[in-house]
Amino acid sequence: MTIRCTAPQWPASRSPAPRCLAALPVALLLLAGCQTARPEPAADAPAAPGAADSCGAAAHQGLVGRERAAVERTRFATPPRVITPGSMVTMDYAPERLNIGISEAGLVERVYCG
């Protein structure tokens, strides 16, 4: 007893390939209809993160590379959020909030809004 595992042989007149190829343009047209238009941002919409200096981060870029004690001696218009390694912070974006990132070595590595 022998078992043969072969693919079925389609007669040229019954091949599924022409039908599949004929359906391709129709499928592409249907998929194109699923796209949605992107709305233009409103003029009064908040700026994207990092797009503007709404928290005054540019004025404090001199802290980058300095020790954390320099942050504690600096006066800010509003208290900054000091982010140390392993600290838990919210992921919401507040453009007026000043963030100061501290490295493992205790140095300021980033000053940014958010």
Per-residue pLDDT tens, the chain, 114 aa: give them: 566 556 566 665 566 566 667 777 777 777 777 666 665 554 444 545 545 689 999 999 999 999 999 999 999 988 999 999 999 999 899 999 999 999 999 999 999 999
What was the pLDDT predicted at 13?
59
Can you list the domains of the chain with their CATH numbers? 57-113 (3.30.10.10)
Would you list the DSSP string of 9-37?
A: PPPGGG-SHHHHHHHHHHHHHHHHTT--P
CB 59 within 8 A of CB 100: no
pTM above 0.75, yes or no: no
Q: What is the pLDDT of residue 63?
A: 96
